[in-house]
Amino acid sequence: MAKSSRRSRVRKQYRLGIDLGGTNVMALVVNEKDEIIGEAKKKTKAELGPQGVVDRIVATAESALSAAEVDVKAVIAAGVGAPGPVNLDTGVVVEAPNLPGWQEIPLAAMLSDKLGMPVFADNDVNLGTLGVHQMGVGRGTQHMVGIFVGTGVGGGLIINGQLHRGSRYSAGEIGHTVIVPNGPICGCGKRGCLEAVASRTAIEREVSAALAAGHPSVLTELLGPEGKNRLTSGVIRSALEAGDALMTSVMSQVQYYLGLLTANLVNVLDPEMVVFGGGVVEALGDDFLEPVRTTARIYYLQQRDADRVQIVPAKLGDYAGGLGGAALARQMTSRRRR
Ligand SMILES: [Zn+2]
């Protein structure tokens, strides 16, 4: 007893999960039971460039640790998600389109230097999916798909109980499956990607066009003069709750496309569960998914046992990515110990 307490005065028992986004950085401190015991959120300030953003991440992690009243020495490891392809083995962010200057940035090594602990990096949506799979509704599934609908549409795949990262760390980019050939232009420069027709950005574009064409809608009031307010997920919810015909019609188109995507993924992967997260789905909840289920089911090739494929909301709010980071930290350190 005396010997072990001398060897480690501070027992390492916590993990840090960090979610780096284009706008915000979030850090969570998680205990052995996977409970969040401290959190912090700061603006990313992407304009500061990679070194400046790394400093912001460190400051966010330190705030989360002090909120949790946890000494950095008691942290086993950290997992961090970045918005772009990441080489899990080297911890290098290959590129992050929303973060200026982020090409071949050794994020894990830079953070490990400053935090003084092992750090592992992965794609942010992969970690959101891992969070749902390890600490959310997906627990216990062998095959699961995560679809995150927000400013864009991201996805992650769990196959045989493990994240599927692909041969170039770029698997799961379901937001860029082409769903409307020659459709609206996408952020990636191509046309008709799912993200170009089913993200919040796409919803905003459709609503603006309809309002400009003079369609009557409560959105005219909700968005203020000259569309002063952003079409946030909360505004979408208010308009739907008011029974607004324009909002309902734009959303049913989005639900239709998400249903087609779900059917395509189910036909390819045959998962037990398809989990929807992200700002839009978190704000609208299970009601949003019912039309998605109806469309998906029509296009399943295998109609037998179709009910066994669950299509459910993630319900982890902003925490999916950070929890996934903490789960990655656990997976990578337990692998090392073995
Ligand atoms: Zn695209």
This prediction has a pTM of 0.93
- Residue-wise pLDDT for 204-229, tens only, equals 999 999 999 999 999 999 998 777 78
Q: Do the Cβ atoms of 231 and 103 come closer than 8 Å?
A: no
Q: What is the pLDDT of residue 229?
A: 82
Cα(3) to ligand 1 centroid in Å equals 58
Cα(122) to ligand 1 centroid in Å equals 21
- Residue-wise pLDDT for 15-25, tens only, equals 999 999 989 99
Res 1 pLDDT > 60: no
Question: What is the residue extent of each domain of the chain?
Answer: 2-130+319-337, 141-315
CB atoms within 10 A of CB 300: 16
Cα(196) to ligand 1 centroid in Å equals 7
CATH of 141-315, one of 1.10.357.10, 3.10.20.90, 1.10.10.10, 3.30.420.40: 3.30.420.40
Q: What is the pLDDT of residue 5?
A: 47
CA distance 242 to 217: 10
Decide whether 2-130+319-337 matches 141-315 in CATH topology: yes
Q: What is the pLDDT of residue 12?
A: 86
Cα(177) to ligand 1 centroid in Å equals 7
Q: What is the pLDDT of residue 316?
A: 93
Q: Do the Cβ atoms of 144 and 129 come closer than 8 Å?
A: yes
Cα(192) to ligand 1 centroid in Å equals 7
CA distance 204 to 248: 13
Cα(338) to ligand 1 centroid in Å equals 40
Cα(164) to ligand 1 centroid in Å equals 20
The CATH code that applies to domain 2-130+319-337 is 3.30.420.40
Cα(23) to ligand 1 centroid in Å equals 20
Find the length of the chain: 338
Cα(202) to ligand 1 centroid in Å equals 12
Cα(102) to ligand 1 centroid in Å equals 20
HSE (side-chain half, CA atoms, 13 Å) at 288: 29
- Nearest-CA neighbor of 146 among 316, 288, 7? 316
Summarize the confidence of residues 183-200 as an average pLDDT: 95
Tokens of 319: 């925490």
Q: Do the Cβ atoms of 124 and 318 come closer than 8 Å?
A: no
- Helix, strand, coil share (%) of the chain residues, nearest 5: 45, 20, 30
Res 84 pLDDT > 80: yes
Give the contacts of 158 (CB within 8 A, at least 6 positions apart): 129, 130, 133, 138, 141, 142, 143, 144, 145, 146, 164, 271
**Run of H or E including 252:** helix 245-269
Cα(174) to ligand 1 centroid in Å equals 9
Res 2 pLDDT > 80: no
Cα(188) to ligand 1 centroid in Å equals 4
Cα(205) to ligand 1 centroid in Å equals 16
CA distance 224 to 236: 14
Q: What is the pLDDT of residue 337?
A: 56
CA distance 104 to 91: 10
Cα(182) to ligand 1 centroid in Å equals 12
25-52 as b/e: b if 16+ CB within 10 A: bbbbbbeeeeebbbbbbbebebeeebee
Cα(155) to ligand 1 centroid in Å equals 13
Judged on CB neighbours under 10 Å (0-12, 13-18, 19+), 225 is exposed
Cα(272) to ligand 1 centroid in Å equals 27
CA distance 12 to 10: 6
Cα(294) to ligand 1 centroid in Å equals 25
Q: What is the pLDDT of residue 31?
A: 97
